[in-house]
Amino acid sequence: MEKWRQSLKTAVTDIGAAVRKFELPEDDVKKAAEMFRFQVSPHYWSLIREKGDPLYLQCMPDGRELEDDGDLLDDPLGEEPDTPVPNVVHRYPDHCLFTVSDCCATYCRFCTRKRKFGQCGHIDPANLEPGFDYIARTGSIQDVLVSGGDPLLLDDENLEYILARLHAIKHVRFVRIGTRTPCMLPERITVKLTRMLKKYHPLYINVHFNHPRELAPAAVAALGRLADAGIPLGSQTVLLRGVNDDPAVMRELMCSLLAARVRPYYIFQCDLARGNSHFRTPLAAGVKIIEAMRGRTSGMAIPHFAVDLPGGGGKITLVPQYECGCGGEYRKFRNFRGQIYDYHDVK
């Protein structure tokens, strides 16, 4: 058995022990853990410093998951109607999402797909045939986002089978993989894996980090191995109350990602999945974070702030308002220092 599989076998799954360790209110926490699977990888567990810290909050069940503020949904992104065959979500004309695994190394408490992926092992790689078939007969799909769950929790052989099948479809110009393993299970990024991935260029990987402390030395090394395999890396971050809803924390995270060879791609507004109410921040918090970065740090560190609209509306991006008036042919803008400049526009 590969080392990373062995290490997953020692993941923390005993909620009783966690309740005792952190002296938690037993009933609520156990109920939350029953609603959505509790599992924390050994690596991530070792990074938690204390009860309530930003890493603890992302993976420990919490009684507040039982609350409902009235906005929360089982299928927050309205994906069901855009699912032409099992495991494919086809919402945008030229690319689709392909969920090939329902397992994760650590189950994030704020997961969008809580409704689906509380259990591990319901997706069998042998049952993806309708997905391959749909992608192969839909000529408009030029880009497939392989996601989950976490696709890198598949064995190399199963993952390679999926990449090879997609690679063989002529109209698929490139493939993206979304994974949180560099953060949660960095030992998964073996040299053997990177050698396999290299065969399927053009391949992009988007990783998921939410706090600067997640960029531990083992995670940075794993990202380096992926980058050395020539895979362009992007990052996705979920904006979470009490975890990273602070411009200074986000700036540090984005700059640390760049230093680890990852180009920040999205900051997401937390989806309205049932159990997420205590993680929600106002939309203005995300805009403020972008505004705090523009002009003050490397533009390469600044991702898009995106909201995936509930009910299947898809992603939109929100940007700070820099325009502050116009007079005739002149438009007025405020720069990052708050100074006003005129721009004479052409007709």
Ligand X SMILES: *Cc1c(COP(=O)(O)O)cnc(C)c1O
Identify which of residues 139 and 295 has a Cβ nearer to ligand X in the complex. 139
CB of 95 to ligand X, least distance (A): 6
The CB-of-311 to ligand X minimum distance in angstroms stands at: 13
With contacts defined by CB under 6 A, name the span among 47-55, 94-102, 166-174, 207-215 that binds ligand X: 94-102
Select the span of 29-37, 89-97, 114-122, 154-162 touching ligand X (CB under 6 A). 89-97
Q: Which stretch binds ligand X (CB under 6 A): 10-18, 47-55, 91-99, 119-127?
A: 91-99
CA-based torsion, 57, 61, 63, 64: positive or negative: positive
Under rule CB under 6 A, how many of the chain's residues touch ligand X? 8
Closest CA to 149 of 184, 186, 187: 184
- Smaller CB separation from ligand X, 89 or 222: 89
95 binds ligand X (CB under 6 A): yes
Cβ 38 vs Cβ 72: under 8 Å? no
Should residue 188 be labelled a site residue for ligand X when binding is judged by CB under 6 A? no
The two tokens of residue 183 are 């953060």
Q: Which is nearer to ligand X, 56 or 268 (CB)?
A: 268
Nearest residue (CB) to ligand X, 125 versus 312: 312
At closest approach, how far in Å is the CB of 91 from ligand X? 4
- Which region, judged by CB under 6 A, interacts with ligand X, from 95-103, 193-201, 207-215, 220-228? 95-103
Pick 56 or 305: Cβ nearer ligand X: 305
Beta carbon nearer to ligand X, 63 or 232: 232
214 versus 271: smaller Cβ distance to ligand X: 271
Q: Which residues contact 219 (CB under 8 A, 6 or more apart)?
A: 182, 183, 186, 209, 260
Residue closer to ligand X by CB (options 41, 237) is 237
Binding status of residue 97 toward ligand X by CB under 6 A: yes
Examine residue 204 and tell whether it contacts ligand X (CB under 6 A). Answer: no
* Element housing 344 (H / E): strand 340-344
What is the Cα–Cα distance from 138 to 158, expressed in whole angstroms?
A: 23
Find the helix or strand (DSSP H, E) in which 206 lies.
Answer: strand 203-208
**Binding residue for ligand X, selected from 11, 89, 183, 229, defined by CB under 6 A:** 89
Tell me whether residue 7 or residue 142 sits nearer to ligand X (CB atom). Answer: 142
Q: Is 91 an interacting residue with respect to ligand X (CB under 6 A)? A: yes
Tell me the closest approach of the beta carbon of residue 82 to ligand X, in angstroms. 6
Task: For residue 327, count other CB atoms closer than 10 A to its CB.
Answer: 8
Among 8, 88, 103, 145, binds ligand X (CB under 6 A): 145
Decide: is 307 part of the binding site for ligand X (CB under 6 A). no
Side-chain half-sphere CA neighbours of 300 within 13 A: 11
92 counts as binding ligand X under rule CB under 6 A: yes
Distance CA 170, CA 318 (A): 35
Query: Using the rule CB under 6 A, which residue among 241, 294, 315, 331 binds ligand X?
Result: 315
Phi, psi of 64 (to 5 degrees): -70, -15
CA distances from 107 to 4, 5, 11, 75 (A): 17, 16, 11, 17
In the complex, what is the shortest distance from the CB of residue 23 to ligand X, in angstroms, rounded to a whole number?
39
DSSP string, 91-148: EETTEEEEE-----SS--TT-TTHHHHTSSS---GGG-HHHHHHHHH-TT--EEEEES
Query: Position 68: which residue type?
Result: D
Angle between helices 15-22 and 26-35 (to 10 degrees): 140
Residue 70 backbone class (left: φ over 0; alpha: ψ -120 to 50; beta: rest): left
Chain residues in the site for ligand X (CB under 6 A): 89, 91-92, 95-97, 145, 315
